[in-house]
Structure 1
Amino acid sequence: MTDIRQARILVLATDGFEQSELLVPVEQLRAKGATVEVAAPEKTMEPGQITAWDGEAAKPGWGQKVKVDRKLAEVRAEDYDAIVLPGGQINPDKLRIEPQAVQLVQDFAAKGKVVAAICHGPWLLAESGLAKGRTLTSFASIKTDMKNAGATWVDKEVVTDKGIVTSRSPKDLDAFVAKIVEEVGEGNHGDRRAA
């Protein structure tokens, strides 16, 4: 069991992440005492930071810039208790073609760590083989993608399947973060890679 106040949580994102889906979990998890770091691939729009897509604004467009704490190439699953995968359409679509990003998600699952994805973030679960045989949710527009990846898709604010946490959209962020805290508190969930 890991107390959230001793937990280390990695947020994996790149340019085009949905602004609230990164900022809210980072803020709420830090407020609960967790150490939270943001990792991104080395190639981003601006060195050392990633730029949000603010889809909730009156006029959607590029949003806030967030400092990157670690390069994707230098992070290891064993150094963290959980990984959070924000959505937005651009961010997870870019990450799912990054072999290191896909491998990192697989490593978290193999080591029994919490894997949490919201909105379009579950695209990384599909790409890494973690959607197969699981019950999960996502943004409604990728429901068919999740089913094609072998998942049972449900329309709920938050779904957990053996330490893999998924939510639909920014309106579900409070439930999403609360479930991450709960799952981290449960400790290791065992190897969850598809057989």
Structure 2
Amino acid sequence: MSCVLVPLADGFEEIEAISIIDVLRRADIEVIMGSLSEHLMVNGAHGISVHADRPVKGLSVDELDMIVLPGGWGGTKALAADLNVQNLLKAMDAKGKAIGAICAAPYALEAAGVLKEGYTCYPGIEDELSTAGFVGAEQAVVESANVMTSRGPGSAICFALAIVKKLKGAEASEKLRSGLLADYCASM
């Protein structure tokens, strides 16, 4: 079974995090909700608190098949500043393992030096990034090498389905897309 880490920091974008976690778990992908501290209750940007499964600290890259960062500006800045998350991102990239980021979270990927040319993000965040190759709004999900990025809350389910496709194949993704009535994601 594939294992994906979704690190949660105070200020995370709830729609993105919960949509990704929910869709991946529906696809029978193990998801670890990781907290940046020993305190497991993490507060979202819009007043929704989530109880994480465990701290990120102590996780090994060998335990993971992918790491996916939700956006939210406050959460993103915390992910960019967190040594454990940054080290995991670097180690995942060094091993060619899958990395994902949505909304503002490509900012945290750039902080780790793992953002690739050919990415998308929430409008305006590209102005905060020095990595070339911003794709813009043409695509809801952009994949460059081992890094997958997406636009924001409205593209979260499409992003999660693209992750399912990457980890479990097109058939699993299509079956889940159909069951979720996510017809707008069919052109991915």
Query: Common fold, TM-score beyond 0.5?
Result: yes
Is 1:32 equivalent to 2:27 in the alignment? yes
Cα displacement (A) at 1:134: 1.6
Cα distance in structure 1, aligned partners of 2:159 and 2:132: 19
After TM superposition, list the pairs within 5 Å mapping 1:25-104 onto structure 2: 25-42=20-37, 47-54=39-46, 62=47, 64-104=48-88
Cα displacement (A) at 1:130: 1.4
Cα displacement (A) at 1:143: 1.1
Matched with 1:163 is 146
The total of aligned residue pairs comes to 167
* DSSP-derived class of the 1:96 partner: helix
Q: Does the aligned pair in 1 maintain the 2:35–2:52 contact within 8 Å? A: yes
Cα distance in structure 1, aligned partners of 2:98 and 2:132: 18
User: What TM-score, normalized by structure 2, do the two folds share?
Assistant: 0.84
2:74 alignment partner AA: I
Cα distance in structure 2, aligned partners of 1:184 and 1:111: 16
* DSSP-derived class of the 1:109 partner: helix
Cα displacement (A) at 1:183: 2.2
Which protein has the bigger strand share? 1
Q: Does the aligned pair in 2 maintain the 1:116–1:165 contact within 8 Å? A: yes
* DSSP-derived class of the 1:136 partner: coil
Cα distance in structure 1, aligned partners of 2:36 and 2:163: 24
Matched with 1:11 is 6
Structure 2 unaligned regions, length at least 5: 170-188
Structure 1 unaligned regions, length at least 5: 1-5, 55-61, 187-195
* Equivalent of 1:114 in 98, 104, 107: 98
Matched with 1:193 is none
Q: Does the aligned pair in 1 maintain the 2:41–2:50 contact within 8 Å? A: yes
Cα displacement (A) at 1:15: 0.8
Matched with 1:172 is 155
Is 1:181 equivalent to 2:173 in the alignment? no
1:154 alignment partner AA: V
1:34 alignment partner AA: I
Cα displacement (A) at 1:89: 0.7
Cα distance in structure 1, aligned partners of 2:80 and 2:103: 14
* DSSP-derived class of the 1:100 partner: helix
4+ residue runs of structure 1 moved beyond 4 angstroms?
Answer: none
Which protein has the bigger helix share? 2
Matched with 1:125 is 109
Cα distance in structure 1, aligned partners of 2:41 and 2:59: 16
Cα distance in structure 2, aligned partners of 1:36 and 1:108: 16
Cα displacement (A) at 1:163: 2.2
* DSSP-derived class of the 1:28 partner: helix
CA RMSD, 1 decimal: 1.4
Identity %: 27
